[in-house]
Amino acid sequence: MERTHTCGALRISDNKSSVQLVGWAQRIRDHGGKKFIDLRDREGITQIVFDPELTQDFVKVEEFRREFLLSVKGTVRPRPEGTVNEKHATGEVEVLVASFSVLSECAVLPFDLDDEHFADVNEELRLEYRYLDLRRPQMQQVIMRRHRFIQTLRRYLDEKGFFEVETPNLTRSTPEGSRDFLVPYRKKKGEFFALPQSPQMFKQLLMVAGFEKYFQIASCYRDEDLRKDRQYEHKQLDMEISFASQEELFVLTEEMISKAFSSVYNIELQKPFLRLPYAQAMQRFGSDKPDLRIVGMELVDVSSLAATCGFSVFKSSVERHGAVKGICFKNGQDKLSRKDIDKIIELAQREWGAKGLAWMKVMDGNTIESSITKFFKEEELKELITSFSAEKGDLLFFAADSKKKSGGILDSLRRYLAETFDMYDRKVNGFCFITDFPLFDWNEEEDFLTFEHSPFTMPKDGDVEYLLSLGAKDVKKEKEKLLSLLSCSYDLVYNGVEMGSGAFRIFSPPLQRKIFELLGKSDADIDASFGWFMKAYRFGAPPHRGWGLGIDRLLMLAEGKASIRDVIPFPRNKHGFCPLTQSPAAVDEKQLKDLGLKLIAKK
C-alpha cells in the first residue's frame, strides 16, 4: 500500500494527475448510479467518485459502510460547475476512482462521527469508544494543536538555554499537599513508592547540581476528587531557573505563552501581563484567581459603615473581625426579578457557602428600597450609593462573613452574573500574575499553622531574622504576626482559572528547617521525610525560583472547552473511571500476595 497524497493535499493545480489516496469513508452518497464518498484522513477530506462504467469492481462499492478504510487509485479532475465545496481546501477537485481496495471494514458505529450530529452523544459513550471520538476531525484538530502548542513551548525554552530533564515517576511519598497515589514495593513488604504530585524537590536538586535552567513536560498525579478542570493525572510545564529575578521569570513566561498563542491560535496577547498583588486581588475581586474579562462589579468594602449601622447581621460580622462587602450590578433591576433574586440567594446558600445575601434597589432621587433600609440612617444610605457610584436601576448585593469568605461569595456572584448576562469583554485574554501571597495560613478546624503555597517558599527578606528567632512554642502567641507575613510566591491566572503556582525557593538549610519546625514538625519528622533533600542544600545551593504551569487547563481555556477532558487524548470520566480500559479494576490474589497486601472487606 502506497499513497501519493493525503486527503487534504489536492488542489486544482493537480488536475489530470494520477493519485493514490488512503482514508476513511466519512459520507457515502448515491447520485444517478454513481457513488460519491468523502474520504478523510487527519489532513482533510477529498471527494472521490465511483463510476460504474469506469471503476473496476464497482459492484463491491454497494458493500461499503461509513468508516470503512479504503485505498483508492484514480485521476484528479475539477468538480462540476456549481458543486465546489468552499468548506474544504480540496473543494475544487474530486478523484475519479479507477480501482480500490478495502483495507479494513468497520462495524456498526456506536455514534455518528460527524460534528454536526454530535452534540447529543453521551460523554460516557465517547470515552468508552475514545479511539472513534478521536477520529473526528474536530478532536483531531484539538490534539494536533495541543502538540504544536507544547512544541512551541519546548522550542522557546531550548532557545533560551533551558535543558529538558526527566525526573522519576516513582519517588518518595511526602505528606504535604494533596493525597498521593501510592505504589507498593514488592521486594520490601509494607513500603511504598509514590507517584509525584510535581517534580518539586528533584528540580530544586537540579539547581543544586548547577544546571541553572531546567524544564520538563511532566506527568503529575494527585488523588483528589475530579472536577471539570482536574484529572488524577495532568501534564505540567515544570520550570526552574537559578540567579534570576521574579520579573525575569515573568517576562520569560509571558513571552513563551504569547509565542504559543500567536503560532497556534493566531492570537496576539497583550503584554506585559498585569502584575497584581494578592491583597489587591482579594480587595477588588474577592479572589486570587480574578476573571479580568468581567466588565465592572468590583467589590467595595463597606465594613466601616456596617460597624455603626443598626442592621445586626452586618454589625455583628464586623465585630467578629469579619467584613461586609458588596457589588453593584448596573441596571440590575431590568435584568433580575424578585423571583430571580430569591433564586440567587438560594444558590449562594446552597453552593457558595453563604448564610444569605442582602440586596438593595437604587431608585429615583438617590433613594434605596430594601427590606433592611429601616436599619440604616438616611446619611448611611447615601454613603452606600456614593461608595458604589450607584445610579437609578442598579442593584446592590452584600455579603457579611469572614474577610475571605465574604469576598469569595461575591466572586461567585460576579461570575454567575457575568455568565448569565454575558458581561465579558471578549477581546480580553485575561492573563495576570498574582504576587505576594501570605506565607502561612491557619487550619481553623485543627488549630495549627500551615503553609499557603508550599513549605519550600522563601519569605520576604525582612522577615527571615524574625522567623529564625521563633520556636514551635511561639507559634500560637505569634499567630497574628505570622499570618501577616508575605512570601516570594506567585500564581499565573488566565480568565479566572489558576494556571500554575511558583515561588522563590528557600535555599538555606537553617531557614528550611525552621519553616518545618514552625509548621509543627519535629526534628525526627524533618529528617525522616526531608533529610535526603536538605542534605543537598549543605553543598552550595544557589538562589533559584520557578513554577509549574498546567498545560491541560491552559489548552482547555484556549480551545474554549467546558471540560479538561476535551483536550486530553485519553481522559477519565468525572468519577475517575476510564470507560475505555474499564479501570481501575480488581487484581487477582496472587498479585496482592506478591505485594504483601490483603483486602479488608467493608462491613
Claim to verify: residue 529 and residue 585 sit in the same structural domain? no
Q: If you average pLDDT over residues 364-380, what whole number do you get?
A: 91
482, pLDDT greater than 90: yes
The widest CA-to-CA distance across the chain, in whole angstroms, is: 94
Q: Which of 246-250, 274-278, 306-310 has the lowest mean pLDDT?
A: 306-310
- Beta carbons of 484 and 441 less than 8 angstroms apart: no
What integer best gives the mean pLDDT of the chain? 94
Q: Is residue 288 part of a domain?
A: no
- The answer to whether position 491 is within a domain reads no
- How far, in Å, CA of 275 to CA of 278, rounded? 10
Where is the domain boundary, 55, 76, 104? 104
149 pLDDT tier (thresholds 50, 70, 90): very high
**CA–CA dist 500, 494 (Å, integer):** 10
Q: What average pLDDT does range 134-158 have in this prediction?
A: 97
- pLDDT value of residue 2: 85
In this prediction, residue 176 carries a pLDDT of: 64
6-32 confidence digits (pLDDT tens): 999 999 999 999 999 999 999 999 988
Burial of 430 (0-12, 13-18, 19+ CB in 10 A): buried
Check if the beta carbon of residue 466 is closer than 8 Å to that of residue 514.
no
- pLDDT at residue 228 greater than cutoff 90: no
Residues 137 and 260 reside in one and the same domain: yes
Residue 330 and residue 396 in contact, taking contact as beta carbons nearer than 8 Å: no
- CATH number, domain containing residue 218: 3.30.930.10
252 and 300 both lie in a single domain: no
**92 closest CA partner among 14, 6, 4, 5:** 14
Q: How far apart are CA 68 and CA 429, in angstroms?
A: 42
Question: What is the per-residue pLDDT for 48?
Answer: 98
In a domain? residue 430: no
Query: In what helix (H) or strand (E) does residue 272 lie, and over which residues does it extend?
Result: none
Query: Distance (Å, rounded) from C-alpha 455 to C-alpha 466?
Result: 17
- Higher pLDDT: 298 or 115? It is 298
Residue pLDDT, tens place only, 259-273: 999 999 999 999 999
User: How would you classify residue 495: left for phi > 0, otherwise alpha for psi between -120 and 50, otherwise beta?
Assistant: left
Same-domain status, 186 and 272:
yes
Q: Are residues 358 and 266 in the same domain?
A: no
Shared domain for 140 and 272, answered yes or no, is: yes
Q: How confident is the model at residue 175 (pLDDT cuts 50, 70, 90)?
A: low
Domain closes at, from 104, 138, 164: 104
Cα gap 151→215, rounded to integer Å: 13
Q: Is residue 6 part of a domain?
A: no
pLDDT of 101 reads 96
Q: How many domains does the chain have?
A: 4
Confidence label for 1 from pLDDT (cuts 50, 70 and 90): low
The whole-number pLDDT of residue 232 equals 94
Same domain, 159 and 260: yes
User: What number of CA atoms fall less than 13 Å from residue 444's CA on the CB side?
Assistant: 1
- 133 and 251 in a common domain: yes
In a domain, 284, yes or no: no
The answer to whether 377 and 442 are in contact (CB under 8 A) is no
Q: Which tens digits make up the pLDDT trace of 555-586?
A: 999 999 999 999 999 999 999 999 999 999 99
Which residue matches cell numbers 466519512?
A: 26
Across 468-489, average pLDDT: 95
Name which residue leads in pLDDT, 239 or 447.
239
The answer to whether the pTM exceeds 0.85 is yes
**Domain enclosing residue 51, as ranges:** 12-104
Q: Where are the beta strands (DSSP E) in 370-516?
A: 395-401, 431-435, 440-443, 448-451, 489-494, 497-504
- The more confidently predicted of residues 454 and 421 is 421
446 plus 476 within the same structural domain: yes
From its phi and psi, is residue 190 left (phi > 0), alpha (psi between -120 and 50) or beta?
A: left
If phi > 0 it is left, if psi is from -120 to 50 it is alpha, else beta; for residue 560 that is left
Same domain, 546 and 535: no
In this predicted structure, what is the pLDDT of residue 178? Answer: 81
pLDDT at residue 460, as a whole number: 95
Residue 116, in any domain of the structure: no
Greater pLDDT, 431 or 114? 431
What are the φ and ψ backbone dihedral angles of 171, each rounded to 5 degrees?
Answer: -145, -165
* Residues sharing a CB contact under 8 Å with residue 451, sequence separation 6 or more, in sequence order: 176, 439, 440, 441, 457, 515, 519
| pLDDT over 70 at 184, yes or no | yes
Highest mean pLDDT among 363-367, 446-450, 466-470: 466-470
Average pLDDT over residues 499-509: 95
Instruction: Give the CATH number of the domain where residue 79 resides.
Output: 2.40.50.140
pLDDT of residue 601: 80
**Pair 523, 553 in one domain:** no
Q: What percent of the chain has pLDDT over 90?
A: 90
Residues 307 and 406 in one domain: yes
For strands 69-78 and 163-164, give the pairing.
unpaired
pLDDT of residue 325: 97
> Is 602's pLDDT higher than 80?
no
Last residue of a domain, one of 391, 421, 451: 421
Q: Is residue 3 part of a domain?
A: no
Tell me if residue 190 falls in helix, strand or coil.
coil
Round the CA-based radius of gyration of the chain to a whole number and report it.
30
Task: Tell me the three cell numbers of residue 210.
Answer: 548547577
Q: Is residue 282 part of a domain?
A: no
